Amino acid sequence: MVVIKRLHTKIIASLIIGLTILGTYYDYEWNISYGTFLSAHFIYYEVLSILNCSIILIAYTLCFFKISLTFLKKLFLAEFFIWILKLLFIKGGYAIGIGAPMHLIIEYDTMSLFLRLLIIGVLIFINKRKKYYTVIPTIVVAYLLSHYIIMLKLYYLAKPFYIN
């Protein structure tokens, strides 16, 4: 069962790594745009984006090595909470355009949040005793939580906190 849990975490971690690389390349991971046609870029914008991507990549490539599952749980939970704080308070891109949000950023954030919740759910809720009775509820709860957190961001926190 531990081998199967490792396999699932490796598959989800590789999806998160690929999604993070694409999101950094297309500027979805660290988008701070706001307004109709305004895109704010700070002085160290690219450095912050690459640093953020490299921290995420290092955290999720540790899944491919023989490290204890309790350490991985703690690491993924810490990364998840930091990513949620970045999503809710720093990230922009939801109030762009003439009356409409940028849908690619919404889809990217939903997929990224779903995968992060799913890897935490696999590590926490699927264990030796419960077998696979909790797989489908874990997937459903991860999807519903990611959907509602993104809707919270879209409707109530679309403007980054640093913009008046």
In the prediction, which pLDDT does 10 show? 87
Q: Please answer whether residues 105 and 31 qualify as being in contact, where contact means their C-beta atoms are separated by less than 8 angstroms.
A: yes
Give per-residue pLDDT as tens, 72-126.
889 999 999 999 988 888 787 677 666 666 788 888 999 999 999 999 888 887 7
For residue 148, tell me if it sits in a domain: yes
**Cα(first)–Cα(last) distance of the chain, in Å?**
51
> Is 163 inside any structural domain?
no
Does residue 75 fall inside a structural domain?
yes
SS3 96: strand
Enumerate the β-bridge partners of residue 35.
96
Whether 161 is in a domain gets the answer no
Instruction: List the domain range (segments joined by +) for residue 148.
Output: 2-156
110 falls within a domain: yes
pTM: 0.85
Instruction: Let me know if residue 162 belongs to a domain.
Output: no
State the total domains in the chain: 1
- CA dist 136 to 38, 122, 139, Å? 42, 11, 5
Residue 17 included in any domain? yes
Name the more confident of 127 and 120: 120
Residue 49 lies in a domain: yes
Angle between helices 69-85 and 45-61 (to 10 degrees): 160
